[in-house]
Structure 1
Amino acid sequence: MGTVASTAVGERTGPLDRLRALHAEGRLAGAYDEVPGLLAELAAAGNPAGPPAPDLVRAGQLLARLDPEQVLREHPGTDTFSVAVTGHSTLSGLKAPLTAELARHGMLLKLHEGDYDSWYRDLQDTGSELYASGADLALCVLDSEIVFDELPHPWLVDDVERVTVAKLALIRQLAERYVTHGGGTLVLNTVPLLRSRLRSLVDSRSRARLGVVWREFNAGLLRLAAEHDRVHVVDLDPLIASSGPVNEPRLAAYAKVHLGEELLAGYAREAGHLARALRGRTKKVLVVDLDNTLWDGILGDDGPDGIAAATTYRGEAFGRFQKAVGQIGAQGVLLAVCSKNDIEPVRDVLRDHPDMVLRDGDFVQVVANWDPKDSNLLAIARKLNLGVDSFVFADDSPFECGLVARSLPGVAVVRLDEEPALHIERLLADGWFDLRELTAEDRARATQYRTEAARQDLMESAGSMEEYLAELGVEVTLSPVADHEIARVSQVTLRTNQFNLTTERLQQADVRARRDSDDGLVLAIRSADRFGDNGLVGVVLVSGVGADGGWHIDNMLLSCRVFARGIEEACLAAVLREAGERGAGAVHARYRPTAKNHRVRTLYPSVGFAETGEDEDGTVSFRHDLTGEQLPTPPAHVRLTADFGRPAS
């Protein structure tokens, strides 16, 4: 993070002051690379159990005044994210928090705002800006007036039921229309029932029935997300529980602001989490401290008998936090420990202490020493073959949190404090691990990483890399993706950065469309070895199958868990041989460089592709003529099964 811009603004050094100074001096666009770090500080200062910090929204007001094109001129590599907004009520309060939420996740918002109460027209008309903008997200913000505006006066619960049933059918129809004709993800929301509407019924039996009808309406909205890959529904109930009233009655009456500023800020935070997931920026690893983080007390000072995660009031709060961490770990997030302690006492506690919910085997790495924590995080990343930007670091020490935030800005830092009852809220507030859909591979990930230790032992005992690979017994299956694997393939494209030849991100609908096209192949790569099944670890995307111009490998991706085992060479050899047997004149491929995929720059040349050109953005084109002497053979240590037929459902 940079220093204060100018002495002209005095001694103010807070993150919001820094942003204001940069804006006043006309340098905010030029310093846009500082923005995520400054916003992270503002977000950390908020109440974890409540709406986003007010200063974060104020920062969004400054950022919303920037011209996105000016930011891109200053920082051409900035990731832009396009959002179209439509709805029933006045939604001007959404722009600032949405700008801030995307910016703190490294994305520059390009916003398309619809007219007041244009939601039906925008979704119905495929020529509207909602469709034409090509937005990544289409936010259709709903409120209770879409129902109550259509009720007679006076109204009965029967009237509400009739309107909600019809409205749900209409929204379902419009959602299907958007999924068919739109290019992004449609975001809907559950609709709050205002207390004033409920209390306008004088008998408790009618109120109870209205509650049932309204919940059935919202349940129907939530089910739309399960029915369509590109529909997401934000449940507003948890946001209302933490942010307070749905709206301010005077603004609702006079300005048609039916959802208040705090609720819209919470909604923007959820939209930011979704945008981050769609860009493949979901975090993969949670690294936690131990003393006053997983347990109450300091092991080195108090000894094993002096720490607690149960049996005391404070201890029980730490025990609840351990359960929350374990819950995350059970869903595919890798858990690791980074603690300033001696390793043997730590292992003894994790193995034998009666209070512990989490045990040694729940962590893929346990690092306890007296080295700086930023260097320990780098060591953990090397062990896991992951970038530190996939890490979340939770610690109660302001010093350690500050050190990691400054030296490793890609790490999401969760600053825990002296109140353990808030640890869970602080950890979960920013949805760092949010996914569109959890897969079987996610649930098995921790086990797969733990077996990596056995592979490392085999490698260290082998006389050479060739001997290690021969003893490893690598088995690879390459075949078209089946229906139940589509979510996993989409996830691979979203989350893989190192072995990703073009970094094209695909949603589930995109994968399905490619799989079902007449001239395309979506080939899933599955691997196993003597230590177990690695599951679906990669994908090859091919187009132009059967076309005169030859096959095109649009992208190839492989999980970092299976690097350097010959899997990629074996799969490319199979694709080239299949293309030749089907009469393709050539196979074309591209490599687009990023900050993380440099190690695969030479992949295509290594299997006989010739370079044919390079674009201004650095994208390199390749061609393989499929002549016999150029066709590669799979590495001898890989047992490959390739099937290019249509997949079974």
Structure 2
Amino acid sequence: MVELHEAGELAAHYPRVRELLAELDDAAVLRAGNLLARLDPQQVLAAHPGTPAPGIAVTGHGTLSALRPALVAQAARHGLLARVELSDFDSWVFDLLTPDSDLYAARPQFALCVLDAEVVAGELPVPWSVADAERVLAAKLALVERAAEVFAQAAPGGTLVLNTLPLPRELTAQLVDLRSRARLGVLWREANVRLLRLPERWSQVVTVDLDPLLAAGLPARDVRQSVYAKAHLSAELLAGYAREVGHLLRQAAGGGKKVLALDLDGTLWGGVLGEVGPEGIEVSEGYRGEAFQRFQKVVRQLAAQGVLPAVVSKNDLEPVLKVLREHPGLAVRDEDFLQVRANWAPKHENLAAIARELNLSVDSVVFVDDSSFERGLVRRELPGVAVVAVGEEPARHVEDLLRDGWFDVRELTAEDRARPERYKEERARQDFLDTFDSLEGYLRELGVSVTLAPAAAEQIPRVSQITLRTNQFNLTTQRLQPADVEALAQSPDAQVLTIASADRFGDNGLVGAVLLRRAGDTVHVDNFLLSCRVFSRGIEQAALATVLADARATGARRVVGRYVPSAKNGKVADFYLRSGFVPVAGRDGEPGDGPGGEQAGPAEAVFEHDLADVPPPPAHIRLTARLRPAPEGNETA
């Protein structure tokens, strides 16, 4: 990277940065951030216009200049280009409580309000008591809560990121009686609890808990930097905080992961199965065996929350299955894995096959292996796969797997928890399909039912998640946070319709969404999304046919749909053409006029349907449709 920077070619080769940062230690990543922070984002975007480039406004208390390179580096690790704007020193109250401030005028996707203990300690009188600290804490919390309220109104499409406040010993030690110290500790922790609960009141708010970072050994501050430079959080803690924010940026850009593909020898257990046999591998006995078992339990914990585990191992299949089924010390079993691929094929080919059979992009995969050769090969052949390095010390496997929050979501839904079981049902569907000579016969016997209905309040997080995590059947790739979806659902001119499906093998749950907007006699399809699990069953045709029929029944003259190409949604480029739409030239109010007000690039395509000939839903679909709240009995099936 240094060579590219010195040659002035770093912007031209920006897509390589993610690979160059892979497996660097934290210090090296931060040094790279100092180089990347010097780049002009516009120069990068001119060379690579498809690069996701979230706008980030940083405000807060204290000197925060060290945060910029850390944020830029962490964004780059995920293939993103962070455009970071730093506010003036200690301007957070004005920035967030004034709706016409420069922060709001910039319309950042993320606003980071970074606070520290000095925001309280700096306003204590001399001498001070616990009562004084309680008063200042209450005042600051009131300001933060007011800031969250103003932000929710002034920036409905953005995310406000707050953080908890580290409690420095220097402050507690000024109280010489232990009872007062304990009381201050209670008040401080109660204040942090209030900060952590703010996302329950405002869905636009995320609070980063700094306690786990401090527990991992990061220093809260460098006292000299705090006193002399007013940098009240250490550079190490800011770097850890930036890593957490990087996870949020990745989620918002649609970079969520679903599949956890694990090597076996040296990763899930110790030793090489083919050399030492089932009795010789380290699974649960001894201190190393206990470390591997701890890792196995975390794999099961992730699977219980919707992660899809798989095995990719260079081994013979039968011995692997025997160990997974019978080894008494193993904390995972073969049924815990969606697929077990133990063979001698290159691992990148196995990973691609897993993604293909699950109807997922390989970008949905996290690959964990202790071999630097295997990791390097996968990075080269499948650059979209997230590669996690684990070393020879199994006690660190859990930390290595979890440190980048690959499977984090804003809110866990029932759909997430049910995902592994539904993919297992999908295998049964595939076996069922193999018994038919034609797709038509299979679909007739599959018994697909589809329900199209307005999004209920409890479905808002799931609809948001679909926009954030669905890449292949996502016609505009517009990403919406829960607050965005809620605003659309409440708008009198918009509709947020959910698509649920089921069949003879089980309930697929909420699998898609259609975002509609009415403007006079025109219905705009601002986005159409469908889970890759249910492609090619006629569900999308049934939903669109229902939308078209309802538009005509309510007096519309046409329906307009948009397609914005991305690296992953090419398979739906002709969806509107296949559905009776025709391409049209841009008209006022059509292109770039989505619910978020974003302007799409010149590659955007616009299509319209004149509603003269509305196709019926596919005959094999049992359809239940209710497109708006209505009195009982006003449903069509």
TM-score by length of 2: 0.95
CA shift for structure 1 position 414: 0.8
Q: Aligned match of 2:603 in 613, 618, 628?
A: 618
> SS state of the match for residue 518, structure 1?
coil
Post-superposition Cα deviations, 1:358-392, rounded to whole Å, max 9, x if no partner, equal: 11111111100011101111111111111111111
Shift of 1:311: 2.1
**Partners in 2 of 1:589 and 1:408 — Cα distance?**
33
Counterpart of 1:619, as a letter, is: E
TM-fit CA distance, 1:647: 8.1
* Secondary structure at 1:163 match in 2: helix
Structure 1 residue 243 displacement after superposition: 4.0
Show the 5 A alignment for 1:163-562: 163-182=136-155, 183-544=157-518, 547-562=519-534
* Partner in structure 2 of residue 580 of structure 1: 552
What 5-or-longer segments of structure 2 have no aligned partner?
592-600, 632-637
CA contact (8 A) 1:243 1:266 kept: no
Secondary structure in structure 2 of the residue aligned to 1:108: coil
One-letter identity of the residue aligned with 1:145: E
- Partner Cα distance (1:184, 1:355) in 2: 48
Task: Please give the secondary structure, in 1, of the residue aligned with 2:207.
Answer: strand
Is the Cα contact below 8 Å between 1:280 and 1:494 reproduced in 2?
Answer: yes
CA distances 1:510-561 after superposition (whole Å, capped 9, x unpaired): 11111111111110000000000000000011001xx423111111000000
CA distance in 1, matches of 2:381, 2:605: 33
Decide which of 10, 14, 23 is 1:28's aligned counterpart. 10
Q: Give the secondary structure class of the aligned counterpart of 1:58.
A: helix
Q: Structure 1 residues 647, 113: CA separation in 2 closer, same or farther (over 3 Å shift)?
A: farther
The residue correspondences of 1:13-92 to structure 2 (distance < 5 A) are 19-42=1-24, 46=25, 53-92=26-65
CA distance in 2, matches of 1:54, 1:238: 20
Superposed CA offset, 1:213-267 (max 9, x none): 1100111110102221110101111112224321111111111110110011001
Instruction: Report the count of equivalent residues.
Output: 617
Tell me if the contact between 1:523 and 1:541 (Cα under 8 Å) persists in the aligned partners.
yes
Q: Which blocks of at least 5 consecutive residues in structure 1 are unaligned?
A: 1-18, 47-52
Q: Match of 1:551, as an amino acid?
A: V
Q: Percent identity?
A: 58
Q: Give, in whole Å, the separation in 1 of the partners of 2:59 and 2:19.
A: 30
Matched residue type, 2:243 = R
> Partner residue of 1:607?
579
CA drift of 1:353 comes to 0.9
AA at the equivalent of 1:510: D
Q: Tell me the distance in 2 between the aligned counterparts of 1:289 and 1:208.
A: 48
Question: Could you tell me how far apart the structure 1 residues matched to 2:184 and 2:571 are?
Answer: 60
CA-CA distance at 1:192 after TM superposition: 0.7
Task: Please tell me the residue identity of whatever aligns with 1:567.
Answer: I
Counterparts of residues 153-168 of structure 1 (less than 5 Å) = 153-168=126-141
Given that residues 112 and 133 in structure 1 are in contact (C-alpha distance below 8 angstroms), is that contact kept between their aligned partners in structure 2?
A: no
* TM-score, with length taken from structure 1: 0.94
Paired letter, 1:609: F
What is the identity, as a one-letter code, of the residue corresponding to 1:606?
Answer: R
Match of 1:49 in 2: none
User: 1:102 is matched with which residue?
Assistant: 75
Between 1:452-461 and 1:589-598, the stretch displaced more is 589-598
How much has 1:125 moved relative to structure 2?
Answer: 1.1
Which of 114, 118, 129 is the matching residue for 2:87?
A: 114
- Give the corresponding residue for 1:6: none
Root-mean-square deviation over aligned CA pairs: 1.3
Deviation sequence 1:75-125 (CA, Å, 0-9, x none):
122111110000110001101111100111111111111000101111111
2:541 pairs with 535, 549, 569, which one? Answer: 569
Q: 1:401 to 1:253 in 2, by over 3 A?
A: same
TM-superposed CA distance for 1:70, in Å, is 1.0
Change in Cα spacing, 1:283 to 1:79, as seen in structure 2 (3 Å) is: same
Rounded to whole Å, the distance in 2 between the matches of 1:415 and 1:429 is 11
1:141 aligned residue: 114
Q: 1:471: Cα distance to partner?
A: 0.8
Residue identity in the other structure for 2:539: I
The CA distance in 2 between the partners of 1:536 and 1:542, in whole Å, is: 17
Provide the C-alpha distance between the structure 1 equivalents of 2:141 and 2:41, rounded to a whole number of angstroms.
37
What amino acid is the match of 1:81? P
Distance 2:445 2:362 in 1: 31
Whether the aligned pair in 1 keeps the contact of 2:521 and 2:555 (CA below 8 Å) is no
Classify 1:34/1:504 alpha carbon distance in 2 versus 1 (closer, same or farther; 3 Å): same
Contact 2:23 2:389 in 1 (8 A): no
